[in-house]
Amino acid sequence: LGPNGAGKTTILRAVCALHYATGGHVRVSGDDGVMHDAAEESAFVKRLVGFVPEQAMLPKELTAAELLEECADVRGLSPEEKKSALLRVVKECSLESVYTKKIRTLSKGFCQRVSFAQALVA
């Protein structure tokens, strides 16, 4: 994607609204997400952007199910959307066998899958 210092991380941080540029615009799905209210802008980003860090930073005391349900709640999904999204990501990420297990008991590979599933809940 580019050499060190080319701005890859800065672009991702701007897309996720973790970094605010001094000029220009970031468009996600054709919308620049510029809002007058910080909460509204944050909600816009949460609806459209998922981020998977290189190292999964998951709350070890929760089960995968509890974490993914919280993610769906943060995204503001209705009960029907939540159920559908959770069924979809559990299947897509092959999490059926670990869905009700505490994150602290999961292998690094399954933790990465849970982290990826978080980004897909939308």
Neighbours of 2 (CB within 10 A): 8
Q: Tokens 């991702």, residue?
A: 12
Examine the pLDDT at 34 and tell me if it is beyond 80: no
pLDDT score for 32: 60
Instruction: Map out the domains of the chain as residue ranges.
Output: 8-48, 64-120
What's the pTM value of the predicted model, to 2 decimals? 0.66
C-alpha 56/C-alpha 7 separation (Å) is 22
**Residue with the larger pLDDT of the pair 2 and 28:** 2
Q: pLDDT per residue over 77-106, tens digit each? A: 999 999 999 999 999 999 999 999 999 999
Examine the pLDDT at 29 and tell me if it is beyond 70: no
C-alpha 4/C-alpha 16 separation (Å) is 20
Tell me the sheet residues that pair with 28. Answer: 31
